[in-house]
Each structure stands twice: as structure tokens, then as C-alpha cells.
Structure 1
Amino acid sequence: MNTPIVSASGHASAHAPVAAPAALPVLPRPSAEEFAAVLEQGHGAYMPLPQFGVIDTTGDDAASFLHAQLTNDVQHLDAANARLAGYCSAKGRLLASFLSWRSGDTIRLLVSKDLQAAVQKRLSMFVLRAKAKLVDASGELGVIGLAGDVRGALSGVFDALPDGVHVQVDGAAGTLIRVPDALGHLRYLWIGPKAQVEALLPSLDGKLKRVSPAVWDWLDIRAGEARITQPVVEQFVPQMVNFDVLGAVNFRKGCYPGQEVVARSQYRGTIKRRTSLANVAGELETVRPGTELFHSDDPGQPCGMIVNAASAQAGGVDLLVELKLAALESGTVHLGAADGPALRFLTLPYGLPAEV
């Protein structure tokens, strides 16, 4: 396992100062028509996704290097599938989350844009003698999300479409990856050379509605898939955001930073916190990731934290919230303080294991 060198000040060198990340912008609430373009039968939408960056990893040792750093199996990642993965600190806390896939000899990592520079810098510190190089490919690649009844439109761009979740196909226009459905609607990510993607987008306009990237953030939340962004870096072990359930952790692979903590949490029954789906009154200007949550029965200390937030189609803000499991058994959970707005809990689209 790679371990950062600790300086005389007691801080790990892997936390060397980097340029302050640009915060992700607060996106305006999408219109009713934008939500409807995804949700109504027979309709579909596409949305450029500037909230993501892409790190390309190349070289003979690219797969083995990433395999030793991330929570999932990268060594055996093939050209037909994509995988979720986390990147942890030595204490097992998530520094970033990725969608990873192969594009030719390159392994690509889709990451929250506000973390891309810092995460790339930190990973690069551990390359050492490995034949691997990490570069920021965000400027060269376009990232497009598609949701709803989009298969007909996509068949005009790709010769074949992926038929299962996290299945990918490559074509002249780039890579198309099917990602988990949201509210029963199909979703895809299209990542390709930016100039080529932008040249092809007008061909979709007659068939699909172009909508705000905020719709994608909402769909990710309704799919129950947490995304690590700057406000919640180092707050959660992978199980707290359900990454074990979502297939983002391989418990049979070799060592990686934080692996002992992650494994101990899994096998010793110490998972006492999980991520749930909820809605709360308000707008994104005040309902933000990293905001603490409080329980009516224990107002003096937080019981959880907002992981992700997005404007909801039915009003208010939909949330992925990490909470003590005990907080769901009785009483109410509130935003910011025990007398803050109460959360209304919704049903995740997948089940969670029974904790003992």
C-alpha cells in the first residue's frame, strides 16, 4: 500500500497545498418543461455536463497502478464495461468517486470537476517508478448525459447501444455508457472528442430536448448514486454512501489506501451509518452538500450530513443524506438544526443489507 510521507508538522505530504478548487456553481432550478422532457412517455433529453472532469491514465502500468489506489478492480476492467470506484485516504475516507472505463489503451476516470485537479495531483504523487501518466482530458472531451426515450436518437450516432447498466460501446463518436436508470427512465453517458461531439449534437435537437445539467444531478440522486464533491471530501467511508451495494468496492482485491478500514467496517458489523434518499423544502442556495442534519431526539449533535442535493421536479430539494441508521427508527431529521426544515424520506431504488 502507498503511504504518504509525514512531515515534521504531522501532516501527510499527500496533502501538499494545491490550488484552491473552483466550487461547482449553484445551478438554477430547471423548468417544468425540462423535467418533463425526461419523465414523459415518448420524450427524451440530452444535457452537456460541465460538472464533470476526466482524468486519462496511460502507460504500461496504468491498470496495475490504479488497481492499487482505488476501491474497485481496475486490473481486470475490460473494454465492454465501466465500473464505479472510490479513492480513499489512509483512514478509509473517500477523497473522490469515479466512473472508470477503458478507451483503447487509456483508462478514463470521470470525476466531479471541482476535485479533478487535486485528485490528479495526489494520484500522480504515488506513480513513482510505475509506467503510468495521468493527464487532464477535460478540455479535449465532451461529456453528455442522455435520459428518457433516447435510444432512437442515439442509434443515429452509435451503431450499437449498450444493453445493460455499466455496459459500454465504442464508436466513431466516442464512448456510450449506460448508467443506472432513474425513476424507471433509461440513462446514458456519451464521452467523446469535444469538437466531434459538438458537431453531432445538432442532429439530436429535432428528437430530444436540450436541458440543464441540473436535471442530471437530480437523476443521479433519484438513482441513489452518491457523488463525492469538495464539500464532503474525507467525510465518509465507502459503505456510508452505499458504495458496497452499488458495486464500487471489491472486497477480494489487493491492498489500496484505507483498505483495512473499509474491510473492517464490512466484516465486523460496524456499519452504523448509511445514505438515504430524502426531500426537503428550500432551494440550493441554502440546501447544500456538507450541511449537517439533526435529529429531534438529540438536538445537541449532528446525526448526519447532506451528500448531494438537486432541485426536485415536485418542488423543494431532493437529497442523498448520510445518517446514523438509528436516526431513521423514530423521530424526525432536520436541516441545519433541530428546529430546521424537516426531511421527508423517500424510497431508494435498491435495497440495503440488514445491519446487525
Structure 2
Amino acid sequence: MPALILPDRSLIRVEGADAQHFLQNLITTNIDAIAPGEAWPAALLTPQGKILFDFLISKSGETGYDCDIRADQAADFIRRLTLYKLRASVEFNLLEDQPVIAAWDEDAPQGALRDRRFPEEADVWRLYGNEAMPDGKPADWDAVRIAHGVAESGSDFALSDVFPHDVLMDRNGGVDFRKGCYVGQEVVSRMQHRGTARRRVVTLTAQTDLPARTRNENSNEDELSIMAGGKPVGSIGSTAGGSALAIVRTDRVADALSQGTPLTVGDAQVTLSLPGWTGLSFNSGDTNTPDK
């Protein structure tokens, strides 16, 4: 079983008598729908509806939840949760002795949680504090994410720069449109019902290896842009050989495809595809259509 300790991830436990109610009214995911053995995508948004923190969330015991988040964002996440705590009976603890492990391509190892960002047949799992000896490589894990169109902040997009729709959270269960209010809910709900999402995560393929993206820390602009007829349509995130994740303007890509305009990165011609599990297609024009 390929597996990999993710040193850039940390685990935060949210527990207490009010933990369920506290989180249900704060984050995008429907807490009540999380079953044992599952890790769901989730986000805490800005009031303007953009992703402030992205993470995976799973149940822990009777009254607790584990948040699997970027290590460099853990302290800020706890501070932000504390601002919302008020008088709620809830505590936040960084579990420094619990390594975060990703595993894939096999049946679930003991104690594993299914990573619901991926289609079920992909067999991708999360383990916390497991003593197994992982033998995977970071490049292997990037390749798995790219193959299935699973984007993460830092690697593929900047926090406070994208809406949940942009990174397919409306399609993978990361956003619930029926559970009621949470921070940023009004904006995200309006995008859903009006069908105004214009950016989406896609998988990009080229005939040659793509250079690794570097981000200018003083801006949200990526150095690797996808061009169509001399105009940018999106930018690249994680790369693995000739494949990459990218976030693109779907209307501009659709126009380029309909007009036969080549899509390029540097001198390389590339092909873009929406992840099959999303049910979205450039050709059908349903890249921003709300669920019926």
C-alpha cells in the first residue's frame, strides 16, 4: 500500500458538548452527515465567501472532530476558532504527536478514514497517528491528487483568493446548500442558485514535462499561466511530469475550444479536462450550472 507521512499537515481536535453545534454554524460542511470512517472536505470562509482555511474533518469519539489542516495555518486556525467561541463549551487542541498519513491504491488499512475529496473507487485514505512505515514519495501523492482533480491551498491556490466553487467543493460534499447559515453562506449560496461560478479546477496534460510552479509571495499571481490566443485563461498549481492541476476561467476555455484556439503553457500546447467525478463538461456548457 503506497502511503506517505505529510509533514506539512497538522491535526487539530475540536471537542466539547457544543462542538457539533459550534462547527455546524461556522464551516461549509454538513457536520451531521459525517459518518465514522470518513474525512470530509471543509472550509472556513471569509464573510465575502472566499476560502480562509481549507481542511479535512472527521469524527473523534462522541463529541469531538479532528481537523486535518496545513501545519503553517494551524495556529491561525485555532485563533480564528477562538474568536467565534464566545461562551460555547468547546476546546481546540493541536495534536502534535499525531502524524497525518495519506494512503492509496489499496483497501482501507485498519483505522483509516476515506478521503471523500476523491471518488470512492480511487481508494484514497487518511490515517492519524498510525505506526505503519510509509513508503510513498511526495511526487507520488501529487500525482494522485492531480489525476483526480483534488486541489489544496498553498500548492494550488492562495487562501482568501478563491470561492469554494472554484476548487470543486460544491461537487465533493465540501459545501452543503441545505443546512442553513455559516460564515460566507449568503455569497456561496447565491453563486450556486444563480450559476455564476466562472473558475474551476481542471487537470492539464502536455507532451513534455512541466516546470514546477513558483509563487510570488507578494501577490496571488502564478508564474505559469495558461494562454489562449495571447490571453490568460488560468494558472497552474501542482505538477507531476506532463500533468498538472490548474484553476481556469471556464468561459474563456470554452470559447477557445469552440474557436479552435490552442491552449499553451510557454511553448507547449496543452489539453484541459474537468475531473470526471464532477459531472462537468466544457462542451455541454454546464461548468457552472447549479444542481437541480
Report the TM-score range of the alignment, normalised by the length of the smaller protein: 0.7 to 0.9
Query: Mapping of 1:26-65 within 5 angstroms?
Result: 44-65=1-22
Corresponding residue for 2:126? Answer: 189
Matched residues in 2 for 1:134 and 1:278: separation? 39
Q: 1:134 to 1:284 in 2, by over 3 A?
A: same
TM-score, normalized by length of structure 1?
0.67
The one of 198, 213, 229 aligned to 1:297: 229
Q: What is the deviation of 1:227?
A: 1.5
The one of 43, 49, 56 aligned to 1:92: 49
Is residue 68 of structure 2 the alignment partner of residue 115 of structure 1? no
Corresponding residue for 1:252? Answer: 178
Matched residues in 2 for 1:218 and 1:290: separation? 23
Unaligned runs of 5+ in 2: none
Matched residues in 2 for 1:342 and 1:290: separation? 21
Aligned length, in residue pairs: 270
Q: 1:133 to 1:60 in 2, by over 3 A?
A: same
Matched residues in 1 for 2:54 and 2:32: separation? 18
Deviation track 1:113-139 (CA, whole Å, cap 9, x = no partner) reads 2322222222221111111122211x1
Matched residues in 2 for 1:92 and 1:275: separation? 18
Is residue 140 of structure 2 the alignment partner of residue 215 of structure 1? yes
Q: What is the deviation of 1:317?
A: 4.6
Amino acid at match of 2:146: I
Is residue 31 of structure 2 the alignment partner of residue 74 of structure 1? yes
Runs of at least 4 residues of structure 1 off by over 6 A? none
Q: What is the deviation of 1:284?
A: 2.1
Corresponding residue for 1:282? Answer: 210
Q: 1:63 to 1:349 in 2, by over 3 A?
A: same
Amino acid at match of 1:305: S
Amino acid at match of 1:348: P
Paired residue secondary structure (1:244): coil
Q: What is the deviation of 1:224?
A: 1.5
Matched residues in 2 for 1:346 and 1:227: separation? 18
Q: What is the deviation of 1:179?
A: 2.5
Matched residues in 1 for 2:210 and 2:33: separation? 44
Is residue 104 of structure 2 the alignment partner of residue 147 of structure 1? yes
User: Are the counterparts in 1 of residues 213 and 238 from structure 2 also a CA contact under 8 Å?
Assistant: no
Matched residues in 2 for 1:50 and 1:326: separation? 37
* RMSD, aligned α-carbons: 2.8
Corresponding residue for 2:94? Answer: 136
User: Are the counterparts in 2 of residues 58 and 133 from structure 1 also a CA contact under 8 Å?
Assistant: yes
Query: Mapping of 1:142-181 within 5 angstroms?
Result: 142-149=99-106, 154=109, 158=110, 175-179=111-115
TM-score, normalized by length of structure 2?
0.81
Q: Work out which of the two has the higher radius of gyration on C-alpha atoms and give 1 or 2.
A: 1
Matched residues in 1 for 2:136 and 2:247: separation? 26
Deviation track 1:206-258 (CA, whole Å, cap 9, x = no partner) reads xxx71213322321222222222385111111111111111111101121111
Corresponding residue for 1:127? Answer: 85
Unaligned runs of 5+ in 1: 1-43, 159-174, 203-208
Q: 1:177 to 1:263 in 2, by over 3 A?
A: same
Paired residue secondary structure (2:28): coil
User: Are the counterparts in 1 of residues 163 and 188 from structure 2 also a CA contact under 8 Å?
Assistant: yes
